[in-house]
Amino acid sequence: MRVRPAWPRDLEACGVLDHSYTTDRVWQMETRNGNGVQTITFRVARLPREMRVNYPRQDEHLLAGWRRRDGFLVAEEGRVHGYVALTAQIENGIAWVGDLVVDRPQRRRGIGTALLQAAAQWGRDHGLARLVVEVQTRNYPAIRFCQSRGLAFCGYNDHYWPHQDIALFFGEALR
């Protein structure tokens, strides 16, 4: 398997990958206000049954995203199995991972890890200090993926995704 910069012809292959995931857990956010203190807590909550979740970005945004991204890498082995889309936030020194997708039938084969490592190297090559990955609170498999690869929870935005879904951010130092 090889990770390389994407070519325009890769867009169609990226668009037909199965971006969905299944989960039986979520990170649930709780807020408490009192005595001038606001407390935000995230806890793992088990769902009553496994659910299948669609990716928060639609396929038609892939082309627009390609044009806005500073880096777009694909993992291929005869055909495209996954991709990572990156933005360089120069002013903050951050390599921002907006999308990290592995085709559903190809998961758990090291492709996501290879893409994440390539994203980190891309950030180092561009002189950036941190890598940050955005994840939905419902995407427990992606949360565990980030944690198991050494990324630490570093923030959230409670109105980030369409339909006001919460985004979690996981990051690591690149230097």
What residue segments make up the domains of the chain, in order of their start?
A: 2-173
pTM, two decimals, is 0.92
| Sign of the C-alpha dihedral computed for residues 58, 15, 9 and 134 taken in this order | positive
Structure tokens at 151: 């990324």
Q: Where are the alpha helices (DSSP H) in 79-152?
A: 111-125, 140-148
d(CA 17, CA 175): 33
| Beta strand ranges found along 35-166 (DSSP E) | 37-53, 71-76, 80-89, 94-102, 130-136, 152-157
pLDDT of residue 56: 78
What separation, in Å, do the N-terminal and C-terminal C-alpha atoms of the chain show?
26
pLDDT of residue 146: 98
d(CA 90, CA 68): 15
What burial class does residue 138 get, using C-beta atoms within 10 Å of its C-beta: 0-12 exposed, 13-18 middle, 19+ buried? buried
What is the layout of strands, in order, in the sheet containing 80-89? 2-5, 71-76, 80-89, 94-102, 130-136, 167-173, 152-157
- Quickly count: other Cβ atoms within 10 Å of residue 92's Cβ: 11
- Mapped onto helix, strand or coil, the DSSP state of residue 164 is helix
On whether the CB atoms of residues 172 and 131 are closer than 8 A, the answer is: yes
DSSP 9: T
pLDDT of residue 79: 94
pLDDT of residue 55: 84
pLDDT of residue 162: 76
pLDDT of residue 65: 67
Per-10-residue mean pLDDT of the chain, 175 residues long, equals 90 90 96 93 97 79 71 91 95 96 96 98 97 96 98 95 88 95
CATH superfamily of 2-173: Gcn5-related N-acetyltransferase (GNAT) (3.40.630.30)
d(CA 150, CA 172): 7
